[in-house]
Structure 1
């Protein structure tokens, strides 16, 4: 069984054989189609939250149980992430995208025919299971196709989540109001099918002339013992704990603890979203420029995240919230392309899919825990400072874990 250094060296040799890959303009076409497919799949993910109240009333679902469908989606998503990552390394990224997204399209369309709560739970569980395999396949594609500018590729691709939230909330409720929620899901299913077809037709596993060897079970086992990947996974879990905890409770903190109107609170959080959107390609560019110091940049970003959470909690004016929000959004999401760069640097292109699946599974744990824990603290104390303190514990832990990441060989495509 090969050591971690040998695994990294293998990735380096794989990259070094492709000097033309980094100069191929086709890689930007690859990025565009996988970004579009990812964005549409995220709209499928967020669609229920945008129309849960009216659709739930029409179906006769208990109001208190509407969020269970979203939870079911993420349970399926978390389970399938490592499976999809290993499939991407064993079968190839394009095949895994097809295995993931064609069923997602069909399941999204079929959700329009749901009449019972448990059928809705089952379909959302399966939708999440189908969608989760996409992540590892996409990360592997970008790792293989991009070299010195892969940080920018990761950053641009990651904006799909931000764009999809806007699209889901701007389009789906209006379409559901005009034509019915069932028609909204049918259109989403068709759109997913169309973009998936385009993606599978256009995407190639690797540039011409490059063969990406398939992996063995022994290599996956060695990957899971890779120190850097483990600490990046734990660091990202802490970071996402902070991000999702704040996103889940920011509006309530502003309206209940500081008395802002929902409209004003929404406007503040809109600027938070703008900062988050712009930060991803910006920090991706920083990874490309400072990739040998990506760990340090990520730690500094998480430290700024903590400082801005404190500043947000101490702020007492509406204008102050508007000023802090975009910087807080940038710090709360900017680490994403940095951490993707770090774990793909540790894994190399050959094992990038399995690494992505493993890391994203661990990251999801932070996403699950923080909204519940922050909500418990806020509900029992109504204290903005205490709630933000609990949220800030995540990026603090994340920064500590990232400090344990060691420098590893540069396995970028040269």
Structure 2
């Protein structure tokens, strides 16, 4: 649901621009404010998850994020809107660390890939739901109705999480809760490189999610509803490919690194192809391939985190690494707008997006082989243990 909240800005941004008189080049600042809050809470949220448990963190943060979504839907002030977007991101940002902590404690290592794939369908499902629902809500009730609808739904789910989600066995074994010692994470070079690789991947993924609607509307004169359909197809493919990719890598036992590199290189190529297109039909044809490439790496990068950090610090590691990943989401919305505004080139905008996954593929070459030895899972590696 928090992914749906985050994805609402993409299809709603053009209507907000018309309503508030915000110029095209400045639209990305709203998404950037969201991701600034998101990154800050990721850095601290993982620590809170290891300390307080996922149930408390999930219920509290989602309740606040949903309430702030409804506030944004009634906002008429641009400065207040920027602040509220940042606060929504601040409370939504802990969900990844809390979820990965639960997956690590609920499942054995050989199932983490598929479990992560199922969990990570959230990001693509959120985009599908937002692009399928928001354009219609805007036509019939205005853009504010979308934020009100999703905000209330998020608050309902927050209550359900607080009641029904159970913390994992690691939390129970630790007994009395205390702040974890996260210093080993700072010495783990592989986690840092994984963070940079994910930064590049999300630069491409969320740059597309944030800007594709507006770029197709303004750059190729596609209708808002048609642009939404393209993004729905783009994201819907990931609903199947994420758990499938996790399942395949779990069964093959070949590690995550090489499959991620291959996917990021495919992502780079398909972004460049998409940027060269101009017709609605061509967008529809390429969208599913681009969707596979844009999302298939994410469950694998997520599954690598506990393999490199160990179970005890899985929440803190997930939060810290995802904070680095999401810097791509912070920077890319503000970068694409000025490039498109200055050049008027649809292709130039997508060439800028393609730089991210290419960087990610190159950086992953420096990460150690995470393939487990026969008969035992891979052990986390720190600088002290090299």
- Structure 1 spans left out of the alignment, 5+ residues: 1-39
The equivalent position to 1:83 in structure 2, one of 23, 26, 44, is 44
Match of 1:288 in 2: 250
Distance 2:147 2:241 in 1: 31
Match of 2:193 in 1: 231
Match of 1:96 in 2: 57
Distance 1:43 1:80 in 2: 18
Once the two structures are superposed, residues 102-128 of structure 1 have per-residue CA deviations (whole angstroms, 9 ceiling, x without a partner) of: 222333344455453333333322222
Superposition pairs of residues 235-246 of structure 1, within 5 angstroms: 235-246=197-208
The equivalent position to 1:206 in structure 2, one of 162, 165, 168, is 168
Once the two structures are superposed, residues 293-324 of structure 1 have per-residue CA deviations (whole angstroms, 9 ceiling, x without a partner) of: 21011111112223333444566887665443
Match of 2:382 in 1: none
Distance change (3 Å), C-alpha of 1:318 and 1:171: closer
Once the two structures are superposed, residues 254-304 of structure 1 have per-residue CA deviations (whole angstroms, 9 ceiling, x without a partner) of: 6777x5744766555443233333321222212322344210111111122
The equivalent position to 2:22 in structure 1, one of 44, 49, 63, is 63
Work out whether 1:126 is the aligned partner of 2:87. Answer: yes
Scaled by the length of structure 2, the TM-score of the pair is 0.81
Match of 1:144 in 2: 105
Distance 2:216 2:9 in 1: 25
Mapped contact 1:287–1:337 kept (Cα < 8 A): no
Mapped contact 1:228–1:343 kept (Cα < 8 A): no
Mapped contact 1:89–1:351 kept (Cα < 8 A): yes
Mapped contact 2:271–2:290 kept (Cα < 8 A): yes
Q: Which moved more, 1:145-154 or 1:394-403?
A: 145-154
Superposition pairs of residues 394-413 of structure 1, within 5 angstroms: 394-408=356-370, 410=377
Match of 1:352 in 2: 314
- Structure 2 spans left out of the alignment, 5+ residues: 380-386
Distance 1:201 1:238 in 2: 37
Mapped contact 2:100–2:314 kept (Cα < 8 A): yes
Which secondary structure does the structure 1 equivalent of 2:313 belong to? helix
Count of residues paired in the alignment: 369
Match of 1:303 in 2: 265
Once the two structures are superposed, residues 336-366 of structure 1 have per-residue CA deviations (whole angstroms, 9 ceiling, x without a partner) of: 0000011121112211111111111111122
Match of 2:120 in 1: 158
Distance 1:244 1:105 in 2: 21
Q: Which moved more, 1:190-199 or 1:162-171?
A: 162-171
Mapped contact 2:31–2:85 kept (Cα < 8 A): yes
Superposition pairs of residues 245-394 of structure 1, within 5 angstroms: 245-250=207-212, 261-262=222-223, 267-312=229-274, 321-382=283-344, 386-394=348-356
Once the two structures are superposed, residues 146-198 of structure 1 have per-residue CA deviations (whole angstroms, 9 ceiling, x without a partner) of: 22322222112222222222323443554566566666544434322221111
Which secondary structure does the structure 2 equivalent of 1:63 belong to? coil
Which secondary structure does the structure 2 equivalent of 1:129 belong to? helix
Between structure 1 and structure 2, the one with the greater Rg is: 1
Superposition pairs of residues 30-69 of structure 1, within 5 angstroms: 40-52=1-13, 61-64=20-23, 68-69=29-30
Distance change (3 Å), C-alpha of 1:351 and 1:368: same
Distance 1:385 1:179 in 2: 34
Distance change (3 Å), C-alpha of 1:371 and 1:291: farther
Distance 2:8 2:346 in 1: 30
Which secondary structure does the structure 1 equivalent of 2:86 belong to? helix
Shift of 1:238: 1.2
Scaled by the length of structure 1, the TM-score of the pair is 0.76
